[in-house]
Structure 1
Amino acid sequence: MKPLFSFLLLFVFVSCQSISQTKGQERSGSVNETPEFIEGLYINTKTIRDKKRWTLLFQVMKDAGMNTAVVDMQPHPPTPEQVAEAKALGIYMVARVVNFEGGLTEKSPNASLMASIQKSIRKACELGFPEIQLDYIRYADGGTNFSMSYEKRYESILGIVAEHKEKTKEVCPSDTKWTADIFGRVPFIQNDVIGQKVEPFSEVLHGLYPMLYPSHFYGLTKRVADPYGTIKDGLDLTVQRAKPGTKAIAWVQGFNMMVGPSKLSYTDYIKVQMQGARDSAGHGFIVWNAGNEYLETMNAYEKYKKEPTPSQMNLTKSE
């Protein structure tokens, strides 16, 4: 299906649905305040560069009841007009800033790379993004050529976060929220060679976004086959281990990979991940689809809003 036709179908589908009140629609008085429960989409550079696509997708999100967008800042950030348009629709805007694509392979990043990352952070703050989400803020997964203890790795990554904050403080307001994406396995294990750990990260960041895509739990049959439980457990563990007050938002899988073991349709596979987030102690979800093809996601979102979650169904049965 061609992308334009998909988006037209998406717009017609959502516009024709009755919009019910959901937990995710509880908005604060300002689009610069984090929603109580985040429900949103990832927005890529392709969508940013296509103004009509941008306008359509944000209108679809608004009409459906979503409240958040995680937006790429590299290599082509949105314009001030695009950010204003999204905010006018009541969408909370998160700036995704990639740090080390694939992860650091040396002990420390070079100065020019750090300067480039900080330039993107400054641009996000200038555009009025209330939240900076640091992605790939880690070491390579098994691809480093040096010896370094777990604790030194954590200290090093946290030092990079501290430098970003210090070098951008002349532009980024003091109330800017700083968050980070973490590997989906990180909440489930004690230590990790990539230099990410829930406890120290939560000491310096306002929120964590574990990438809990069930398809990526290679070799763990139960996780791959249980999208609901994988999201719920991952968020519950993140909240349990993090400093009190730290937000935990799941990246959920909006792409058709290893869906078969769940015995669910692609749409229901996305839906139950959303339900897992809602049934957890966490604070929401963002759907990742690299191509920004969200027709199935919006179908799933509409079902998610109308159907009881597994925990609610179990409670009813027990009563």
Structure 2
Amino acid sequence: ETSAGLERNAAEESTEEGAAALTEKEPEPIAISTISRPEPVKVRGIYVSAYVAGTGNRMDEILNQMEGTGLNAVVIDLKDDEGRITCEMDSPLVNEIGASRVLIQDMPGLIESLKERGIYPIARVVAFRDPYLAEQKPEWSLHMTDGSIYRDGNGLAWVNPYRQEVWDYLVEVGKKAGELGFAEVQFDYVRFSVDSGVEGVAFDPQDTGGRSKTEAISQFMDYAYGQLSQEGLYVSADVFGTIIRSGQDAQAVGQDYGEMAGRVDYLCPMIYPSHYGDGSFGIEHPDTQPYDTVYQALLGSKEALAGEREDGRHQAVVRPWLQDFTASYLDHYIEYGDEEVRAQIQAVYDAGYEEWLLWDAGVSYHYGGAAKQEGMEE
């Protein structure tokens, strides 16, 4: 997921200001699963789209390039950005609405081949931006005050994060991920839309039940974690980078960093340098300073979670998304290659974290940057 629009708006608010802005009562954190699960893996991974994962030759090429680099995980679309299930799935609601669009012919076989290579398989499940479900079940979608379905800046409809039926569907897909062989379910777009026009969305009090956006998202994560961890799955969530320091952003999307960290196994902030506005962290053009931007973002993460840790609450492992693409749409950008990828990874280690993921929507990675180099310290 990209988050440039929101991240440019409020990237400079302090952690203290963010904490002060979150005044509503939050749900209690979850009880972490005691069900036996596989030994945790220190993930160093990449995103692979369903289109690429379903193309045998291309996937083999990627796996061969991963060898010897230290990369040990792959995030694969199971429920994609259009709300389609990317493989065959025998599931009540999937069958009812015809959600499957098979791009990966043999998902269990693919996952088995990954495991044979020692690669940890993560299922990407796009949550509340789901144009397909919104069209098939319009009563579950977001609606404008005039009754029409809300669509974001890309013309895509969203489903209502307050609706229990939507939660059940996402959990249904997550459980199927486990049956297919995935070790972890990663929820993306686990938030409210912030695109222009969203202020015209009408929320039914019967749906909200007096809950804030952050309460709704936290309660969904409680519910999903409780269900999926009992299936032996790990659960992770992608979050905007700026919610770390901005209470305004947290309230807008419904993602509170500390609350989210208490409700999943892995928290994945999207701290792409290109997504921070000029001047963020005192850096004139963040995209041109990948090490400094990632390092400062993760120092903010440590500060934001310090209080939660002192209280003895469960805290997710922080596993950031890093940038492996060139943001040529910016006025001030640099070409990203091995050096820029390596710099971000080093920043992760220097900030005291151990796991990371690389994002490129086109799945064209700089594997040399991911390879451990002399002088690079974890």
Matches within 5 A, 1:132-171: 132-141=185-194, 143-144=198-199, 145-146=201-202, 152-165=212-225, 168-169=227-228
Is the 2:127–2:190 Cα contact (8 Å) retained in structure 1? yes
1:201 is matched with 260
Matches within 5 A, 1:15-94: 32-36=38-42, 38-74=43-79, 75-77=85-87, 79-94=107-122
Q: Tell me, in whole angstroms, the C-alpha distance in 2 between the residues paired with 1:123 and 1:301.
A: 31
Q: Tell me, in whole angstroms, the C-alpha distance in 2 between the residues paired with 1:99 and 1:248.
A: 20
Q: 1:213 aligns with which of 263, 272, 275?
A: 272
In the TM superposition, residue 107 of structure 1 has moved relative to its aligned partner by 6.1
Q: Tell me, in whole angstroms, the C-alpha distance in 1 between the residues paired with 2:276 and 2:333.
A: 13
Q: Tell me, in whole angstroms, the C-alpha distance in 1 between the residues paired with 2:346 and 2:225.
A: 34
Is the 2:325–2:336 Cα contact (8 Å) retained in structure 1? no
Structure with greater contact order relative to length (CA < 8 Å, sep ≥ 6): 2
Matches within 5 A, 1:287-298: 287-294=358-365, 297-298=366-367
Q: Tell me, in whole angstroms, the C-alpha distance in 2 between the residues paired with 1:104 and 1:110.
A: 15
Is the 2:263–2:316 Cα contact (8 Å) retained in structure 1? no
Is the 2:193–2:253 Cα contact (8 Å) retained in structure 1? yes
Partner amino acid, structure 1, of 2:39: E
Is the 1:73–1:95 Cα contact (8 Å) retained in structure 2? yes
Cα shift readout 1:70-111 (whole Å, capped 9, x = no counterpart)? 111123145111101101111112111110126957562472
In the TM superposition, residue 299 of structure 1 has moved relative to its aligned partner by 2.6
Q: Tell me, in whole angstroms, the C-alpha distance in 1 between the residues paired with 2:326 and 2:374.
A: 22
Q: Tell me, in whole angstroms, the C-alpha distance in 2 between the residues paired with 1:175 and 1:128.
A: 11
Partner amino acid, structure 2, of 1:306: Q
Distance 1:51 1:287, change over 3 A: same
Q: 1:299 aligns with which of 343, 365, 368?
A: 368
Q: Tell me, in whole angstroms, the C-alpha distance in 2 between the residues paired with 1:228 and 1:262.
A: 14
Cα shift readout 1:182-238 (whole Å, capped 9, x = no counterpart)? 001111223421011111111111111000011111343613332112212222332
Q: Tell me, in whole angstroms, the C-alpha distance in 2 between the residues paired with 1:203 and 1:50.
A: 37
TM-score normalised to structure 1 length: 0.74
Q: Tell me, in whole angstroms, the C-alpha distance in 2 between the residues paired with 1:146 and 1:226.
A: 41
Matches within 5 A, 1:157-196: 157-165=217-225, 168-169=227-228, 173-191=230-248, 192=250, 193-196=252-255
Is the 1:202–1:246 Cα contact (8 Å) retained in structure 2? yes
Partner amino acid, structure 2, of 1:283: E
Distance 1:228 1:35, change over 3 A: same
Q: Tell me, in whole angstroms, the C-alpha distance in 2 between the residues paired with 1:32 and 1:198.
A: 26
Partner amino acid, structure 2, of 1:280: A
Q: Tell me, in whole angstroms, the C-alpha distance in 1 between the residues paired with 2:61 and 2:54.
A: 13
Identity rate, percent: 23
Let me know the Cα RMSD of the aligned residues: 3.0
Partner amino acid, structure 2, of 1:81: G
1:235 is matched with 298
> What secondary structure, in the 3-state scheme, does the structure 1 residue paired with 2:261 have?
helix
Q: Does 1:280 align with 2:351?
A: yes
Is the 1:59–1:89 Cα contact (8 Å) retained in structure 2? no
Distance 1:98 1:107, change over 3 A: closer
> What secondary structure, in the 3-state scheme, does the structure 2 residue paired with 1:283 have?
coil
1:7 is matched with none
TM-score normalised to structure 2 length: 0.64
Is the 1:184–1:212 Cα contact (8 Å) retained in structure 2? yes
In the TM superposition, residue 55 of structure 1 has moved relative to its aligned partner by 2.4
Is the 1:239–1:247 Cα contact (8 Å) retained in structure 2? no
Is the 2:266–2:319 Cα contact (8 Å) retained in structure 1? yes
Q: Tell me, in whole angstroms, the C-alpha distance in 2 between the residues paired with 1:94 and 1:39.
A: 12
Q: 2:162 aligns with which of 97, 108, 120?
A: 108
> What secondary structure, in the 3-state scheme, does the structure 1 residue paired with 2:262 have?
helix
Is the 1:107–1:146 Cα contact (8 Å) retained in structure 2? no
Is the 2:189–2:238 Cα contact (8 Å) retained in structure 1? yes
Partner amino acid, structure 2, of 1:162: D
Partner amino acid, structure 1, of 2:174: I
Is the 1:181–1:208 Cα contact (8 Å) retained in structure 2? yes
> What secondary structure, in the 3-state scheme, does the structure 1 residue paired with 2:295 have?
helix
Cα shift readout 1:224-281 (whole Å, capped 9, x = no counterpart)? 3321122122223324433444211111111111588466763322221111112122
- Any gaps of 5 or more consecutive residues in structure 2? 1-36, 80-84, 88-103, 130-151, 310-314
38-47 or 215-224, which moves further after superposition? 215-224
